[in-house]
Amino acid sequence: MQYLMLIYHEERQWAELPEAEKQKVYEGFRVLREDLEPREKFKGGNALQPTPTAATVRVRNGKRSVTDGPFAETKEQLGGYILVEAKDHEEALAIAARIPIAKSGSIEVRPVMPPQQA
Amino acid sequence: MQYLLLIYLEESRWERLDDPEQQKIYQEYRDLIGDLQKAGKFLGGNELQPTSTATTVRVRAGKKSITDGPFAETKEQLGGYFLVEAKDLDEAMEIAARIPSATTGSIEVRPVVPRQAQ
């Protein structure tokens, strides 16, 4: 079963972190990834550029409208995601708790729809 | 350049659609994915199970805390995502506007951090 982990953190807090602290977080991500990968539990993931680079697109009556910024203004912002393979919900939550940002932000865990139903 | 396209839609509206209507939308998704794949622009994507299956995980002072539900309550809910390759934001927004759910929901377009920058 695959789970999408949505990584929310306070962008401003992150931007203010000294470079050495950021490197520590990146290192934490590398360690987690290197642990998950050989067991084929890491299926992908990306860091996102900050929400000022976001745009939201809608199409109504065939006309496209674009607004600057993310879909929703939230206290913490979506900063990245990882896609993992886990045997069940419990294992997915255990992996989520190991994401470095879980200590300062929030990790939303969402089971993915099996492809055959899509 | 890679872009994450976050697909927000009203879950309750989707659930009210009858099966032929849902199948028609799935077919539109398959057509778009096929087109993007042929052009080498589709890098991945998933449909998510409804937010009623979501869990949010935080770790504070070494203790894991778990809350049911998504990170944020929003009018539309995150229902899936595409990861696409596009030459710039304009092309990414063009692709976003072709996502079937853009006609009823909202597509948030987020540029991904290039791997070497991390």
- pLDDT tens for residues A41-79? 999 999 999 999 999 999 999 999 999 999 999 999 999
Sheet containing strand A106-111, strands side by side = A42-47, A77-85, A2-9, A106-111, B55-60, B63-68
Residue of chain B nearest A93, judged by CA positions: B57
Distance from CA of B47 to the nearest CA of A (A): 5
* Long-range contacts formed by A55-58: CB under 8 A, 24+ apart: A55/B89, A55/B93, A55/B108, A55/B109, A56/B106, A56/B107, A56/B108, A56/B109, A57/B93, A57/B96, A57/B97, A57/B102, A57/B106, A57/B107, A57/B108, A57/B109, A58/B102, A58/B105, A58/B106, A58/B107
Between CA B118 and CA B115 the distance in angstroms is: 6
CA A112-B50-A62 angle, 5° bins: 95
Between CA B99 and CA A59 the distance in angstroms is: 9
B59 and A57: CB-CB below 8 Å? Answer: no
Q: Taking the model in full, what pTM does it have?
A: 0.95
B109 and A55: CB-CB below 8 Å? Answer: yes
Distance from CA of A49 to the nearest CA of B (A): 5
Give residues with Cβ within 8 angstroms of A20, minimum separation 6.
Answer: none
A46 and B113: CB-CB below 8 Å? Answer: yes
pLDDT score of A81: 98
> Is pLDDT above 60 for A117?
no
> Is pLDDT above 70 for A100?
yes
Give residues with Cβ within 8 angstroms of A101, minimum separation 6.
Answer: A7, A8, A9, A25, A79, A107
Query: Phi then psi for A6, rounded to 5 degrees?
Result: -95, 125
Q: What percent of chain A has pLDDT over 90?
A: 96
Distance from CA of B85 to the nearest CA of A (A): 13
Average pLDDT, chain B: 96
Between CA A107 and CA A97 the distance in angstroms is: 8
A78 close to B (CB below 8 A): yes
B49 and A110: CB-CB below 8 Å? Answer: yes
Between CA B89 and CA B92 the distance in angstroms is: 5
A53 close to B (CB below 8 A): yes
A-chain residues within 8 Å CB-CB of B85?
none
Number of residues assigned to chain B: 118
What distance, in Å, lies between the first and last C-alpha atoms of chain A?
A: 15
pLDDT score of A29: 96
B102 close to A (CB below 8 A): yes
pLDDT one-digit tens code per residue, B14-27? 999 999 999 999 99
A53 and B111: CB-CB below 8 Å? Answer: yes
Out of B2, B4, B56, the one facing A108 most closely (by C-beta) is B56
> Is pLDDT above 90 for A115?
no
Distance from CA of B115 to the nearest CA of A (A): 8
Mutate to test the interface with B, among A4, A23, A25, A46 (most CBs of B within 10 A): A46
A57 and B107: CB-CB below 8 Å? Answer: yes
> Is pLDDT above 80 for A116?
no
Quote the strand ranges of chain B, DSSP E.
Answer: 2-9, 42-47, 55-60, 63-68, 77-85, 106-111
